[in-house]
Amino acid sequence: MTKIHFKDKKAKTVTTIMGAVLIGLLMFSPSAVLPYVNAQQVNRESNLPPVAQKLLDYMHQQFEKHPDWVGMMRWNTTAASFDYLGPANQNPYRVHGIFMQPTGVLNGGVGIVSDRSNGGTSEWKEISTYTNQALSSTNTDLFQVLNAMNSNSAHWLQVAAVYDNAQLIGTTGVGWKVTIDSFSTSACSTTGEWFVSSPIQTYMQSGHSMQSFLYADQSQAGHYDAGVTDTSANNGYLYGFGITGDSGSTINLGETDIGSCHFSSGPEQEEQSDGSTTNPTKYNNEAYAMGFYDTPTSSETTSVQNWETPWLSSCMGLSPNPPPTSPAVATFTYTC
């Protein structure tokens, strides 16, 4: 594996006055008054505390005015704030040189054919619940990944919680981070379209209960929210973004296979190293319990019609294989 340099000099500073102003001003307590927030707005993200939902509503309203903007926000039960809100091409948390690739030191996933509520692949939201873990190796990171496609399945969307042992991601050092990226599904490539990473999330710990999520923003077509909630610590992180030319308001399940690349929905476990080793690192069994929502007002579905054929590198397994369909829980095991 070729050593890759991951630092991006531009990631050290916020490059726009607008971004700096928003980061400085948009830090809210539960009593804060937000401009342009409509208290009657529907399609609310029910898993967010009220103060975070207010900030998310504000972010979505800014996307309606500025379709090329993205937002990175954090929250706990009493406060929420932006790390960045502004043009995508000026995001200081955009990292170059690393992606959750279809290849790696270890890599495995299992796609979902469809959920059981309507037998279709179109969803509003997908979630996975799991127990957070980090590797013992100082030169390898473990990405705990949730995958889905955008509305027309032209883009593979990924969100992960990772302890950046190997300091692969950005310039912020060792610690827990939330990463989000996108691949085009038109060709098999290890080069993604973009990759963003949160700053270090000090509240995250190994052993915490986690929930990753991907869903379609209902206020504007072609926009999505992806993030991770640490339910043990009552903290979370979210990235909101749009896709040019996407006119849909759903995510898609299923899988697209091109050569050795598997663009699947559902859970994925991946190790990436700093290039100093190609030897895998043992991880604990990791169970991802899946959940799906057809619409913002529908109840959660925890079963699937079926699983796609798993794609697993050596030293990776599933127990059982294939996973059960009801409840839909995929457990990745270390087999070496």
Token representation of residue 238: 């979210």
Q: Is residue 198 part of a domain?
A: yes
Q: Which domain range does residue 165 map to?
A: 94-334
Domain count, the chain: 1
What was the pLDDT predicted at 201?
97
Q: Is residue 74 part of a domain?
A: no
Q: Are 211 and 234 in contact (CB under 8 A)?
A: no
What was the pLDDT predicted at 16?
36
Binned at pLDDT 50, 70 and 90, residue 71 comes out as: very high
Closest alpha carbon to 126 in 9, 211, 26 = 211
What was the pLDDT predicted at 286?
98
pLDDT reading at 3 higher than 60: no
pLDDT reading at 39 higher than 60: no
Determine the average pLDDT of the residues in 56-61: 96
Residue indicated by tokens 């079926």: 306
Q: Is residue 6 part of a domain?
A: no
**Range among 14-18, 51-55, 166-170 rated most confident:** 51-55
3-state secondary structure of 10: helix
Query: What is the enclosing helix (H) or strand (E) of 61?
Result: helix 50-65
pLDDT reading at 19 higher than 90: no
Determine the average pLDDT of the residues in 236-259: 95
Binned at pLDDT 50, 70 and 90, residue 97 comes out as: confident
Binned at pLDDT 50, 70 and 90, residue 15 comes out as: very low
Q: Is residue 43 part of a domain?
A: no
What was the pLDDT predicted at 37?
40
Q: Is residue 144 part of a domain?
A: yes
Q: Write the single-letter amino acid at 68.
A: D
Closest alpha carbon to 72 in 199, 167, 157, 192 = 199
pLDDT reading at 131 higher than 50: yes
pLDDT reading at 41 higher than 50: no
Q: Is residue 169 part of a domain?
A: yes
Determine the average pLDDT of the residues in 270-283: 90
What was the pLDDT predicted at 96?
80
What was the pLDDT predicted at 120?
74
The CATH number for 189's domain is 2.60.120
Determine the average pLDDT of the residues in 308-319: 94
Q: Is residue 322 part of a domain?
A: yes
Q: Taking the CB of residue 15, how many other CB atoms lie within 10 A of it?
A: 15
Determine the average pLDDT of the residues in 32-60: 66
Token representation of residue 275: 């290039």
Q: What is the mean pLDDT of the chain?
A: 86
What was the pLDDT predicted at 274?
87
Token representation of residue 276: 């100093």
Q: What is the pLDDT of residues 161-214, one digit of tens each?
A: 999 999 999 878 999 999 999 999 999 988 899 999 999 999 999 999 999 999
What was the pLDDT predicted at 101?
67
Q: Is residue 316 part of a domain?
A: yes
pTM (predicted TM-score): 0.87
Q: Are 133 and 260 in contact (CB under 8 A)?
A: no
**Percent of the chain clearing pLDDT 90 (strictly above):** 72
pLDDT reading at 116 higher than 80: no
Pick left, alpha or beta for residue 302 (phi over 0 → left; psi -120 to 50 → alpha; otherwise beta).
alpha
What was the pLDDT predicted at 102?
61
What was the pLDDT predicted at 119?
66
